[in-house]
Amino acid sequence: MGGWQVLPEDLPPEVRHFVEQLRLLKDDTGLSLVALGARTAYSKSSWQRYLNAVQPPPRQAVVALCRVAGLAGPDAERHAVRWELAVQAWPRPATAPDRPPGAAEPAGYEDDPTLPWWDRPEPAPVPHPYGGRLLVYAVLLLLALLLVAVVGAMTLG
């Protein structure tokens, strides 16, 4: 692993082992990060983040790397198990400055930090302060307008 960044000292052992195994797997392919990005659905910069332990990779990225490396069956499954262990131990980002300490993580992160934004569940809708009353008023107004139109049409001929 000569050309790789040194991994942070405080990295949990599960994460360190997983990233080291991913690096070996990537090196075994003989591909550059650009070529790896071209053969998977993940960019060069994404692979840099994953292989330098900056961000946990999505499970699909690990599957794609195994496919490119020619791994299947039990060998690929071992990487999936390592991914599971690493994601559970992966350090969480520091509390955002606008979020008070002890506040909950953003929705979706606690379930799966590798889930892309487009696959995250929609947040619960915020109820409108008027509730359903606004809809009732709109329907009543429409009925009143229809009544005026019918009466006007009958009166004017």
Above 60 in pLDDT, residue 149? yes
- Residue 14: predicted pLDDT: 93
CB distance 8 to 86 below 8 Å: no
**C-alpha closest to that of 46 among 105, 17, 38:** 38
Rounded distance between C-alpha atoms, residue 19 and residue 6, angstroms: 11
pTM exceeding the 0.85 threshold for the entire prediction: no
- pLDDT of 19-62, one tens digit each? 999 999 999 999 999 999 999 989 999 999 999 999 999 999 99
- pLDDT of 81-110, one tens digit each? 999 999 988 887 654 455 555 555 544 444
- Residue position matching structure tokens 């650009």: 34
